[in-house]
Structure 1
Amino acid sequence: MLELSILMMERVGIVVLLGFILVSIPQMRRWLFNPTMAGKFWLIVLFSFVAVIANMTAVVIGPHNEIESSIVMMNLPHGDSLANARVLAISSAGIVGGPFVGGMVGLIAGLHRMMQGGPSGWFYVISSLIIGLASGGMYRSRNHEEQGGDPFAILTTHQAFIVGLVMETLQMVFVLLFSERGWELVSFIAFPMIVINTLGTMVFISVISMYFKQENQTRALQTQTVLNLASSTLPYFRQGLNYDSAQKVAQIILDNTNFAAISLTTTKSILAHVGAGSDHHVATHQMVTNLSREAITTNQVHIAQSKEEIGCSNPNCPLRAAIVVPLNVDQKIVGTLKMYYTESWRLTPVEIELAKGLADLFSSQIALGEAEHQANLVRDAEIKSLQAQVNPHFFFNAINTIAAMIRINSEQARELLIKLSQYFRSNLVGARATTITLDQELAQVEAYLSLEQARFPGKYQVKFDVTANRSLLLPPFAIQILVENAIRYAFKDRRQDNQVTVTAHADQQWLSIAVADNGEGIDPNTLEIYGDQEVESQHGSGTAVYNLNQRLIGLYNDQSRLQIQSSSDGTIVKMKIPVQMGG
Structure 2
Amino acid sequence: MIHLMIMMLERVGIIVILGFILAHTKLFRQALQQPASYKGKAVLITIFSLFSIISNYTGIEIQRNIILNNDWVFEIDPSSSIANTRIMGVEIGGLLGGPIVGAGVGLLAGLHRLSLGGSTAFSCAVSSILAGILAGWIGSYFRKRYRIPTPRAAALVGIGMEALQMLIILLMAKPFADAWALVSMIGIPMILINGSGSFIFLSIIQSIIRKEEQARALETHRVLMIADQTLPYFRQGLNENSCKSVAAIIHKLTGTDAVSLTDNKKILAHVGAGTDHHIPSKSLITGLSKKVIKTGYIMKATSQEEIECTHAQCPLHAAIVLPLTSNGKTIGTLKMYFKSPAGLSQVEEELAEGLAMLFSTQLELGEAELQSKLLKDAEIKALQAQVNPHFLFNAINTISALCRTDVEKTRKLLLQLSVYFRSNLQGARQLLIPLSKELNHLHAYLSLEQARFPGKYEIEIDIEDSLDQIEIPPFVLQVLVENALRHAFPKKQDRYKVEVQVLSAESSVYMKVKDNGRGIAEEIVTQLGNKPLPSKEGTGTALYNLNQRLVGLFGQQAALQITSGIDNGTEVSFQVPLKQMKEGEEHAEGVNR
Fold-level similarity (TM above 0.5):
yes
The aligned residue for residue 401 of structure 2 is: 404
Contact 1:240 1:366 survives alignment (8 Å): yes
The residue matched to 2:538 in structure 1 has which SS? coil
Contact 2:30 2:40 survives alignment (8 Å): yes
* Mapping for residues 211-222 of structure 1, pairs under 5 Å: 211-222=208-219
What's the offset of the Cα at 1:527?
5.8
Change (3 A) 1:84 1:270: farther
What's the offset of the Cα at 1:351?
4.8
Contact 2:143 2:149 survives alignment (8 Å): no
The equivalent position to 1:248 in structure 2, one of 239, 245, 249, is 245
Contact 1:320 1:344 survives alignment (8 Å): no
Sequence identity, in percent?
A: 43
Change (3 A) 1:205 1:313: same
What's the offset of the Cα at 1:164?
4.4
* Mapping for residues 392-541 of structure 1, pairs under 5 Å: 392-457=389-454, 460-467=457-464, 469-471=466-468, 472-491=470-489, 499-517=497-515, 518-519=517-518, 521=520, 524=523, 530-541=528-539
Change (3 A) 1:438 1:56: closer
What's the offset of the Cα at 1:11?
4.6
Counterpart AA for 2:201:
F
Contact 1:329 1:366 survives alignment (8 Å): yes
* Mapping for residues 335-414 of structure 1, pairs under 5 Å: 335-339=332-336, 342=340, 344=342, 347-348=345-346, 351-414=348-411
What's the offset of the Cα at 1:60?
7.9
The aligned residue for residue 577 of structure 1 is: 576
Return the alpha-carbon distance in structure 1 between the equivalents of residues 268 and 11 of structure 2.
57
The aligned residue for residue 29 of structure 2 is: 33
Contact 1:321 1:347 survives alignment (8 Å): no
TM-score, normalization by structure 2 = 0.73
Return the alpha-carbon distance in structure 1 between the equivalents of residues 39 and 27 of structure 2.
8
The residue matched to 1:232 in structure 2 has which SS? helix
* Mapping for residues 128-139 of structure 1, pairs under 5 Å: none
Contact 1:31 1:40 survives alignment (8 Å): no
Please identify, of 392-401 and 380-389, the stretch whose mean Cα deviation from structure 2 is larger. Answer: 380-389
The residue matched to 1:216 in structure 2 has which SS? helix
The equivalent position to 1:202 in structure 2, one of 185, 190, 199, is 199
The equivalent position to 1:233 in structure 2, one of 214, 230, 238, is 230
The aligned residue for residue 2 of structure 1 is: 2
The aligned residue for residue 161 of structure 1 is: 155
1:21-47 CA distance string (max 9 Å, x none): 7479xxx35554345999999999999
The aligned residue for residue 330 of structure 1 is: 327
Change (3 A) 1:34 1:163: same
Counterpart AA for 2:485:
I
What's the offset of the Cα at 1:427?
1.0
What's the offset of the Cα at 1:476?
0.8
Change (3 A) 1:388 1:498: same
Change (3 A) 1:15 1:257: same
Change (3 A) 1:345 1:381: closer
The residue matched to 1:12 in structure 2 has which SS? helix
Count, aligned residues? 563
1:444-468 CA distance string (max 9 Å, x none): 2232233234434565554445447
1:52-91 CA distance string (max 9 Å, x none): 9989987687x67656789xx4899998997665775686
Change (3 A) 1:193 1:263: farther
Return the alpha-carbon distance in structure 2 between the equivalents of residues 168 and 296 of structure 1.
61
Contact 1:265 1:272 survives alignment (8 Å): yes
The residue matched to 1:515 in structure 2 has which SS? strand
Change (3 A) 1:484 1:512: same
Counterpart AA for 1:445:
L
What's the offset of the Cα at 1:201?
2.3
* Mapping for residues 152-191 of structure 1, pairs under 5 Å: 153-161=147-155, 164=158, 188-189=185-186, 191=188
Counterpart AA for 2:558:
S
Counterpart AA for 1:344:
A
The residue matched to 1:444 in structure 2 has which SS? helix
The residue matched to 1:548 in structure 2 has which SS? helix
What's the offset of the Cα at 1:391?
2.0
Return the alpha-carbon distance in structure 1 between the equivalents of residues 319 and 134 of structure 2.
36
Change (3 A) 1:475 1:46: closer
Return the alpha-carbon distance in structure 2 between the equivalents of residues 459 and 52 of structure 1.
47
Counterpart AA for 1:455:
R
User: 5+ residue gaps in structure 1?
Assistant: none
Return the alpha-carbon distance in structure 1 between the equivalents of residues 130 and 336 of structure 2.
40
Change (3 A) 1:407 1:473: same
Change (3 A) 1:384 1:509: same
1:505-540 CA distance string (max 9 Å, x none): 32122222233443452684x766543444555443
Return the alpha-carbon distance in structure 1 between the equivalents of residues 291 and 404 of structure 2.
38
The equivalent position to 2:307 in structure 1, one of 293, 298, 312, is 312
* Mapping for residues 14-93 of structure 1, pairs under 5 Å: 16=16, 18=17, 22=21, 28=24, 30=26, 32-35=28-31, 73=71, 88=88
Return the alpha-carbon distance in structure 1 between the equivalents of residues 427 and 26 of structure 2.
40
TM-score, normalization by structure 1 = 0.74
Change (3 A) 1:100 1:573: closer
Return the alpha-carbon distance in structure 1 between the equivalents of residues 343 and 59 of structure 2.
34
Return the alpha-carbon distance in structure 1 between the equivalents of residues 459 and 561 of structure 2.
21
Return the alpha-carbon distance in structure 2 between the equivalents of residues 308 and 40 of structure 1.
40
Contact 1:95 1:136 survives alignment (8 Å): no
